[in-house]
Amino acid sequence: MQYTTVLFDLDGTLTESAPGIVNSAAHALEKFGIHVEDKNDLLCFVGPPLIESFQKYYGLDEVQAVQAVSYYREYYSTKGLFENKLIDGIPELLLTLKSAGKQLLVATSKPEFFSEQIISHYGIRPYFTYVAGATMDETRTAKSEVIAYAMEQIPGVAKGNIVMVGDRHHDVDGAIANGLDSIGVTFGYGDRAELADAGATYIVDSVAELQNLLLQNSWDLSIVKHMETKL
């Protein structure tokens, strides 16, 4: 099998975005009188929808979580957005894939408005056919919804020719919900156990391994396929 279309997560897959996300989450929590001493505790905000994280990890109810997202964006829209950098090797990967004829899209739970700004700022927007993200009004936030939306932008592409690449279980969950294969990457903010437990089709540990996997017609047996590890 050869994938012709690749959906990329943004945070932790294309960019090292933790500083801006963590600082924005800390700003929002302070508004509720919650002071987080160790900002590493806020890495849980990298990847999942924000409302989900404010409720799950800090006990806010739905109304409070919506307000927290508003506070989060106060900081993020002016500072956190660019407290960010591309993961080493990503520009070269995108150029190689595009040159090989792959169609590339972004599929992220980050609002589409911010995602467009980020990838344009770092010079990688031309590689992508479309940038699919969450809506600012929270009507599209779950990764499964974002992936479905991304697929609507590429009608006619068979599901078997599309793969989702991401660093958290949400990426794998969203791919499975849409009948797609997935490649979990451990160079982001998740780990191998999280990706394997979620059911990632393949797991790679570096950008170089990801490139090799996406360019091969037959898979390199040194790259562990999740389903085989379950046997």
Q: Report pLDDT digits (tens) over 117-152.
A: 999 999 999 999 999 999 988 789 899 999 999 999
Residue 17 DSSP symbol: -
What are the start-end ranges of the H helices in the chain? 18-30, 50-58, 62-76, 90-99, 112-121, 143-152, 169-177, 192-198, 207-215, 226-229
Asked if 131 and 105 touch (Cβ cutoff 8 Å), the reply is yes
Q: What is the mean pLDDT of residues 75-89?
A: 94
**What pLDDT score does 139 carry?**
85
Work out the average pLDDT over 2-24. 95
- For residue 1, what pLDDT band results from cuts at 50, 70 and 90? low
- pLDDT value of position 42: 95
Q: What angle do CA 176, 93, 213 make, to 5 degrees?
A: 50
Question: For residue 19, which of 50, 49, 3, 42 has the smallest C-alpha distance?
Answer: 42
pLDDT class for 224, splitting at 50, 70, 90? very low
Flag whether pLDDT at 218 surpasses 90. Answer: no
- Rounded to the nearest 5 percent, the helix, strand and coil shares of the chain are 50, 15, 35
pLDDT score at 137: 86
Predicted confidence band of residue 5 (pLDDT cuts 50, 70, 90)? very high
- Pull the structure tokens for residue 94: 């995108």
In angstroms, the first-to-last Cα distance of the chain is: 22
**CA-atom Rg of the chain in angstroms:** 17
Residue 220 has pLDDT above 90, yes or no: no
Least confident span in 57-66, 120-129, 209-218: 209-218
Mean pLDDT of all residues in 90-104? 97
Q: Is 91 exposed, middle or buried (0-12, 13-18, 19+ CB in 10 A)?
A: middle
pLDDT over 80 (residue 153): yes
- Cβ atoms of 46 and 13 within 8 Å: the answer is no
Q: Mean pLDDT for the chain?
A: 92
Catalytic residues: 9
The one-letter amino acid at 71: Y
The reported pLDDT for the residue numbered 219 is: 42
Q: What b/e readout covers 132-152, taking b as 16+ CB neighbours within 10 angstroms? A: bbbeeeeebbbbebbbbbbbe
pLDDT at residue 75 is higher than 60 = yes
Q: What CA–CA distance (Å, rounded) separates 35 from 213?
A: 43
Segment among 57-61, 63-67, 138-142, 204-208 with least mean pLDDT: 138-142
